[in-house]
Amino acid sequence: MSGIGEAFARCAAERRAAFIPFLMAGDPDLSATAGQLAAAAAGGADIIELGVPFSDPIADGPVNQRAAMRALASGTRLSGILELIARHRDQLGVPIVLFTYYNPIYARGVDRFAEQAAASGVDGVLCVDLPPEESRRELLPALRERGVDSICLLAPTSTKDRIALAAGAATGFIYYVSRTGTTGERASLPGDLIRDLKRLRRRLDLPLAVGFGISTPEQVAALGAVADGVVVGSALVRLVEQMGDDPELPARLEQRIRELAAPLHRRASGLRAAR
């Protein structure tokens, strides 16, 4: 079982969903990212998504776009991100998923990327602009050969055939985009999201995590009752944007992650007490 599989299995044994924060690598610079990763792990992250900054982040909303631009401006590149993970992965004790676009992978070379990602301790890769039909040609086999999970996206617009295709291609977990559009905080969840998650979960063997637009403990609680994992990104990236290189950022980030993850742990405690 992969590190990601173990994380979901542990959460399932605790009768709760996994909490998965997203951070942009290199925002405001890579040295700051090391502290952010440690804060995320200390705050209760079960898996961490680490964004690879890209100049045309079509899946991201304004908050994450600005973070990517700051990271690129600070000189952050894929090589530096992999080196950072290699230095800190064992200390964190939390699986790392790279959230990336295909261009940085293609520029490096698929086999070289897969080899270096595995050697650095990357547990999974979510390539948001590479559909399963394309990933099955090179990227997915290269990752599987080296024991790195390949996460696939599904969305409210996904057809039955698309769901089956993604489920057959993915390892680790399926990432469900909660709404059409880009990343970013939303005041409320789509009215049919809970129903859609329940239906989709019955069709999958892999864990199902949901993200995009989730930003409050109340939203985390609602989705944690029906999904296997909950992803929060823009709300945390916005905190990094607001605080920048403030030395208090790691402590504030840890506190915010702890607050967001708390409903999952409370629900698990309540379920155990009711047994």
Query: Which candidate in 46, 60, 123, 228 is catalytic?
Result: 60
**49 counts as catalytic:** yes
**60 counts as catalytic:** yes
Residues in the chain: 275
Compute CA 157 distance to the chain's CA centroid, rounded to the nearest angstrom. 21
How many angstroms separate the CA atoms of 159 and 46, rounded?
Answer: 30
How many angstroms separate the CA atoms of 244 and 27, rounded?
Answer: 8
C-alpha distances (whole Å) from 243 to each of 65, 100, 177 are 17, 24, 28
Query: Which candidate in 46, 49, 149, 254 is catalytic?
Result: 49
Which residues have a Cβ under 8 Å from the Cβ of 189 and sit 6 or more positions away? 178, 213, 214, 219, 222, 223
Amino acid occupying residue 252: R
Q: Which helix (H) or strand (E) holds 221?
A: helix 217-224
Q: Is 125 left (phi over 0), alpha (psi -120 to 50) or beta?
A: beta
Q: Is 44 left (phi over 0), alpha (psi -120 to 50) or beta?
A: left
Active-site residues, by number, are 49, 60
